[in-house]
Amino acid sequence: MAFSVGGGEDAPEEMSEINVTPFIDVMLVLLIVFMVAAPLSTVDTPVDLPVSTAPPQDRPQDPVWLTVAVEGDLILGDARLAPEALPAALDAATGGQHETPIFLRADQSIAYGRLMEVLNALRAAGYLKVALVGLDGGAP
């Protein structure tokens, strides 16, 4: 009885290829794990918001209108203002009453930064009651 240690005729040949099937199986399992875990990692707080039934507020007799024009200019009533003249003009228009609401109108093409500059100027002047004016309904 003889043993064949080497590569005889009946010995299987060596494979020089890499079997990628286990690699693909692992990748598919990882893909499924991430697909299941991804939606769970998002923060989503369900909130049932109430519907407002508040009636619209009455407009004062002589509202103080501050408009930010397309060019970014400030217009108080019908008079154009320099930004540094805003506090004095508001004091003259409101009689120094800082509780008077200011109705702020701005063109929709105004940059957000410019609008924040105007709101900061109003706050620095002591006017904290600012109403942003928009149109009722309509398409944007």
Q: For residue range 71-97, what is the model confidence (pLDDT) as tens digits?
A: 888 988 888 888 899 999 999 999 989
b/e burial code for range 113-135 (CB count within 10 A of at least 16 → b): eebeebbebbeebebeeeeeeee
| Cα separations in angstroms, 12 against 4, 15, 20, 135 | 12, 9, 20, 84
Q: For residue range 96-106, what is the model confidence (pLDDT) as tens digits?
A: 898 999 988 88
pLDDT at position 128 is 92
pLDDT at position 47 is 42
Q: For residue range 19-39, what is the model confidence (pLDDT) as tens digits?
A: 888 889 999 999 999 888 887
| Assigned token pair, 71 | 């060019």
Q: How confident is the model at residue 45 (pLDDT cuts 50, 70, 90)?
A: very low
Q: How confident is the model at residue 53 (pLDDT cuts 50, 70, 90)?
A: low
